[in-house]
Structure 1
Amino acid sequence: MSVKSRLLTAFCVVSLVAFACATSQQPGGTQPGGSSSVEELPEENKPAAGAATPAAPAGPQLQTVGGPEEGFTAKMPGAPQPQRNKVTIPAGDIVTAAWNANVENVGYAISLADYPVKVVAARPPEAFLNEARDGIIAQLKGTLKSEENITINDTYPGKAFVVSSENGEVKARSYLVGPRLYTMLALYNPSIGAPAADEFLRSLTLINPPPPVERKATRTRSTDGGTTSPTDAGTPATDAGTP
């Protein structure tokens, strides 16, 4: 696989993080170091000791994006329109789309990248998921705080992870569904939180998803110098004859 096509695995997520970082630095947004530009209340305006604590904000209203023509639906704030792109590599075209929103100083993003089937068949799913994760870490110049292997529809592999950085904290999920890589993320100030982030990240619903891509069998050379054979070809029966 070429360097160009490998870098495109993280192409969408890098652009989404850049968008979220830029919008979160607007007045009232997240500042470097995880602090907030929201001013502290003067002492006379703070609740008196023993007073009832105000209820936590419910978070922004989520709306459905995607649809049957996109192959998925998800719920995110705002009403973002997709930004589409296509990049041609020797193996074929990689078609991308991204939905971005910034609501209440939290950046939300969904991206998808449709790869040629032969590109996906040539590499393990973990490689695509790891590169999506590493692209976010590199763009934020952050560190991986936690990660977990997950699935969607009990079939397609995914990864949920959290990245910490001076630009804020990112909660993200990525899935490889057939030849398509989905990435969802929320960038926020960890001292304030993002009430809608978890609901957003859990909202991805697949519509008529393709079957998982069949991987090319790895071939290994036999110990007696014979020809190569697929590693999944099974072992010979014990009564297969004398050497």
Structure 2
Amino acid sequence: MTNTPWLGDACSLVEEFRAGRRSPREEMQATLEAVKNSKLNAVSFVDEEGALERASRADISLPFGGIPMGVKELDNVTGWPATEASVPFADRKATYTGTMVTRLIERGGATHFGLTTASEFGGVNVTRTVLNGVTRNPWNLERTPGGSSGGGAAGVAGGLFALGTGGDGGGSIRIPAGFNGLVGLKSTYGRIPRGPHAEYGNLTVTIGGMTRSVRDTARWFDICNGHDTSDPLSLPKVSGWEA
């Protein structure tokens, strides 16, 4: 029985699943319990029933098969809150799932369980909002985990889950990764598509994630990069980043 979430990287957790030493459902149960008891305030929404159902049918042959994944609350998952971390949108629901998240789920096999906290509209490099309160750094609860992808970084570094999505225009992946001792990649614009409804108001913004190792990040990039017709500025796929 898995009582606490895996503290190693996602790649090694997949190996544990395949060897039969841990199971995706037990790992998800441990993640959900850890999130519930955490002092970090890293998660703003949890789909407990859906997460356990998805974990029960996880395909561990996939690169991130069964790995619990927190989705930044500025990203979209159909039916989940789409608040932009802002009070006026507190009751809004997403009507689509973002291309990167879809690829992580369908190509990667990651198991999304909930939304991680962010700064309002991704506008500042701390994670503290009227809607969700203060998110704390797992290394020192009096410190910020950075932002805008602070909840994902705090959760990954704090041992709650192994993968957290993010976006970066002015440091919103890199700053939380640096503040929490993680690997965060701001890839070349267009490498990871921003569909299915691409926005071109700010061409400095790219999407990606925060992980516990370089190999996790390389595997993430292999899964997520490549052209998508919904994003005309997305680039052709490049492969073989995981050594």
After TM superposition, the score normalised by the length of structure 2 is: 0.25
Which structure is higher in strand share? 1
Q: Which has the higher contact order (CA 8 A, sep 6+)?
A: 1
Asked which structure has the greater CA Rg, the reply is 1
After TM superposition, the score normalised by the length of structure 1 is: 0.25
Which structure is higher in helix share? 2
